[in-house]
Structure 1
Amino acid sequence: MIGHKRIPSREGGVEIVVDEISTRLTERGYHVDAYNRSGYHVSGKEFDEKRGKIYNGIRLITIPTFKSSSLNAIVYALLATIRVLFGQYGIIHYHAEGSCVMLGIPKFFGKHVVATIHGLDWQRAKWGNFASRVLKYGEKQAAKKADAIIVLSRNVQEYFKDQYNRETIFIPNGIDKPCLKENREILKCFGLRKNDYILFLARLVPEKGAHYLIEAYRELKTEKKLVIAGGDSHASEYMERIYQSVKENNNIIMTGFVQGRILEELYSNAYVFVQPSDIEGMAMTLLEAMSYGNCCLVSNIPENIEVVEDKAMSFQKGDVADLKEKLQYLLENESVVRNYKEKSSAFICGKYNWEDVVDRTVQAYFGNAGEGK
């Protein structure tokens, strides 16, 4: 596995997917090596390379790289790729467009290469022109040279067909049904009670849309708090701007990066979960929020609507006025919120599950899955 930051980690959806799939592959008797990237964790702590070499049966191999956010991913992908050339691997699985820049190297040496496109990363606002070009090149390498391409949404599947005339294998992410948690830690740390807050949970990068939600929240008539949970592995101008914009509003709570019990409690006790993204592949936080039985309000991008169908409310992407209107409606209509909550968990856990994901991934590895299926 190449392309994630590091596992075990909840730094992003890619890390969760690599963790879940790799763990289940080892349980089925496969040998899995995960090439972790050295550097800074999204919580701000430097990754501890001594934390262990084996995790859930997965061998962890840490690849050194630069600390610069503009260089670390590409250097990591190159060094990891060089190292796998000397391993006896049946499959080399690249995750995300950035790492696919190096995909042609093992293919040249006759290796069997699979790529998972977690989203069209080159479109993300945080990347400059050069970085976007590099990501686009990675996408082209995958389209031309990968033995199999896995995509997480029908929208991206159609994109690869239209752009490259390349068939792909649609394998969405999975989810497990969680146990709900009482508001013990979040009450102690943030003063949060059940149904007392609106929840946003994502990395603080422009395409996740926290700024839309904060702007809309300021116009709401409500006593409920807004919780912005998330961070980024590198301090950014955008993240600083978000913190500056809320510092005088005591009802907007910035938790930073969360995981473990606090994360579970935030999901378990929210009144509404909001997913205002401009761009997604397949948001793990949305699947998780629904699995906890949340009423969700999502931007109407295809990748979100494909997941929620009619089991959540949506608003026009990037439209703060529409977001504010839909939020106000949910705040004033508890019966509507309750109805969404009653349906969301059973729906999402029935629609997506990790064992099915792994079954189909194994088929993709060994050529038993029809492309485009």
Structure 2
Amino acid sequence: MKIAMIGQKGIPSRAGGIEIHVEEISKRLVYLGYEVEVYCRRGYCDKEFSDNKYQGITVKYTPYIKSKHLDSITHTFTSTIRALFSNCDIFHYHALGPSTMAFIPRLFGKKVVCTVHGLDWQRGKWGKFASKYLKFGEYATAKFSHKTINVSKNLVKYYREKYNLETSYIPNGVERPDLVKPLIIKEKYNLGKDDYILFLARLVPEKGIHYLIDAFNRIKTEKKLVIAGGASHSEGYESELRKMAKENKNIIFTGFVKELELAELYSNAYFYVLPSDIEGLPISLLEAMSYGNCCLVSDIAENTDVIGSIGYSFKKANVDDLEKKLNMLLENKSKVLKVRDLAAQYILNKYNWDQISINTKHIYMEIMGTKKKITDKWRLGNDGKRHTIN
């Protein structure tokens, strides 16, 4: 059976959570016996492959018009057409915008799955027309697909109430990382263990970074605030953030980070903050917890469902409450250490890529009319091989 993954910018890439999600489930689906084609945009991938193969996945580059509003939809269209000529059996669309094209493979009798990673029309970077188009994408995920997957329980509830539709809950996942010492970040930013509070995600308005800078500017502390991440068609917002922080020498913008520098930032933070107004299921939060970080998050359901009782929250968009909670954790290291001891194992048990991939396989089997088979418990090892768990 051949699967087409459409909607992501590309793999391997840390451009966003969708790219990580697609890469992790695709390489596992290959080990589960599927042919997987991932459709990519040149320029967004961390590397390209001359033989178009990456960990058993077929990587295909299709053309697109590079602009804020046409980038995704033109790439989705060309990818859909190419996947039709490639005789893919299942077209798996990711996100609302790309899902607007889901009717095309249906016209040709193909099976369609749509994964909703968040209600993108709510995001502040989009204008009126783009927001309306993304709302149509939401409709398409409910009406054009044979099966709709949501990455959060709150989204499952939303689709049940709005569309009277029972969708499948399959979240994002996370892998166990190696903790590393602060070498690169010591040289570049003079940061050591526990010297800083970390925000790490895209610099877009819905992430609430402006609340965090506002609250941090009110606090007296020797610790730094590290804001790690790049803009995503949101350069104006990034400029506003830098203006808010220009008088505070303890606020550091790193830009986009990856690989060892990324690992060092996660490994050595005092605690991690995610002050979002909107989320699907934030992979950066899963990653922060997998490194054993204490996390402080806004109290939206998508965040609090992740941390459970292993972490702290503040009232969404409430700078006063955020300031209060930041001070509490800065003044009470015991509260931070208590969560650190529990966070990693808790999140690794709760959000497991191997099980997520098996659940995705069962969706494919269901829409293809194939009976589910008992699957051996297994994991994908660091050596890239499949290992049976006794």
TM-score tier after normalising by the smaller chain length: over 0.9
Question: Does residue 1:339 correspond to 2:343, yes or no?
Answer: no
Question: 1:51 & 1:67 partners in 2: Cα distance?
Answer: 23
SS in 2 for 1:232: coil
Whole-Å separation in 1 of the counterparts to 2:231 and 2:94: 19
Distance 1:263 1:234, change over 3 A: same
Structure 1 pair 350–34 and aligned structure 2 pair: CA distance change class (3 A): same
Matched, 1:126 2:130: no
- Take 1:262 and 1:100, find their aligned partners in 2: how far apart are those partners? 34
Amino acid in the other structure paired with 1:315: F
* RMSD, aligned α-carbons: 1.5
Residue pair 1:225, 1:252 contacting (<8 A) in 2 also: yes
* Residue pair 1:118, 1:282 contacting (<8 A) in 2 also: yes
What SS is found at the alignment partner of 1:172? coil
Instruction: Give the SS at the match of 1:94.
Output: strand
Q: Do the aligned residues in 2 keep the contact of 1:40 with 1:233 (CA within 8 Å)?
A: no
| Rounded Cα–Cα distance in structure 2 between residues aligned with 1:40 and 1:306 | 31
**What residue number does 1:20 align with?**
24
- Alpha-carbon spacing, 1:242–1:336, altered in 2? closer, same or farther (3 Å): same
- The alpha-carbon deviation at position 347 of structure 1 amounts to 0.7
Whether 1:254 and 2:273 are equivalent positions in the alignment is: no
**Kept after mapping to 2: 8 A contact 1:3/1:96:** yes
Q: Does 1:164 align with 2:163?
A: yes
Q: Which residue of 2 aligns with 1:37?
A: 41
Alignment check: 8 A CA contact 1:39 1:65 kept: no
Displacement of 1:294: 0.4
Give the letter aligned to residue 180 of structure 1.
L
Whichever residue aligns with residue 34 of structure 1, its letter is V
Q: Report how many residues are paired.
A: 364
**C-alpha separation in 1, matches of 2:51 and 2:222:** 46
Q: Secondary structure at the match of 1:85?
A: helix
Residue 321 of structure 2 is matched in structure 1 by 322
Residue of structure 1 in register with 2:280 after alignment: 281
1:44 maps to none
The amino acid that maps onto 1:316 is: K
3-state SS in 2 of match to 1:60: strand
1:51: how far off? 6.3
Where do residues 140-179 of structure 1 align in structure 2 (5 Å cutoff)? 140-179=139-178
Counterpart-to-counterpart distance in 1, 2:211 and 2:44:
27
Q: Distance in 1 between matches of 2:234 and 2:47?
A: 19
Unaligned runs of 5+ in 2: 373-390
The answer on whether the counterparts of 1:151 and 1:169 sit within 8 Å (CA) in structure 2 is: yes
Q: Is the 8 A contact 2:156 2:167 kept in 1?
A: yes
Once residues 247 and 29 of structure 1 are traced to their aligned partners in structure 2, the CA distance between those partners, rounded to angstroms, is 53
Tell me: higher relative CO, structure 1 or 2? Use CA pairs within 8 A at least 6 residues apart: 1
Q: C-alpha separation between the residues in 2 aligned to 1:105 and 1:5?
A: 20
Deviation at 1:48, TM superposition (A): 6.5
Measure the CA separation in 2 of the matches of 1:18 and 1:153. Answer: 16
Q: Distance in 1 between the 2:98 and 2:324 partners?
A: 40
Q: What one-letter code is carried by the residue in structure 2 that aligns with 1:2?
A: I
Task: Please give the alpha-carbon distance, in whole angstroms, between the structure 1 residues aligned to 2:218 and 2:198.
Answer: 16
1:7 maps to which residue? Answer: 11
SS of residue paired to 1:150: strand
Cα distance in 1, alignment partners of residues 225 and 166 from structure 2: 42
Match of 2:303 in 1: 304
Contact 1:38–1:65, Cα closer than 8 Å, also in 2:
no
Identity of aligned residues (%): 51
2:270 — aligned with what? 271
Structure 1 residues without counterparts, runs of 5 or longer:
42-46
The SS at the match of 1:26 is helix
Residues 161-183 of structure 1, C-alpha deviations (whole Å, 9 max, x = no match): 11111110011111111111111
SS at the partner of 1:273? strand
Map of 1:91 onto structure 2: 90
Superposed CA deviations along residues 196-252 of structure 1, whole A, max 9, x for unmatched, are 000000100000111111111001121100000000244521112112322342211
Displacement of 1:38 in angstroms is 3.3
Question: Which residue of 1 is the match for residue 379 of structure 2?
Answer: none
Describe the shift of the 1:174–1:248 C-alpha distance in structure 2 as closer, same or farther (beyond 3 A).
same
Paired residues of 1:34 and 1:60 also in contact (CA < 8 A) = yes
Query: Could you say what secondary structure the match of 1:32 adopts?
Result: strand
Task: Quote the offset at 1:317 in angstroms.
Answer: 0.5
Match of 1:226 in 2: 225
Amino acid corresponding to residue 85 of structure 2 in structure 1: F
Q: Distance in 2 between matches of 1:5 and 1:39?
A: 9
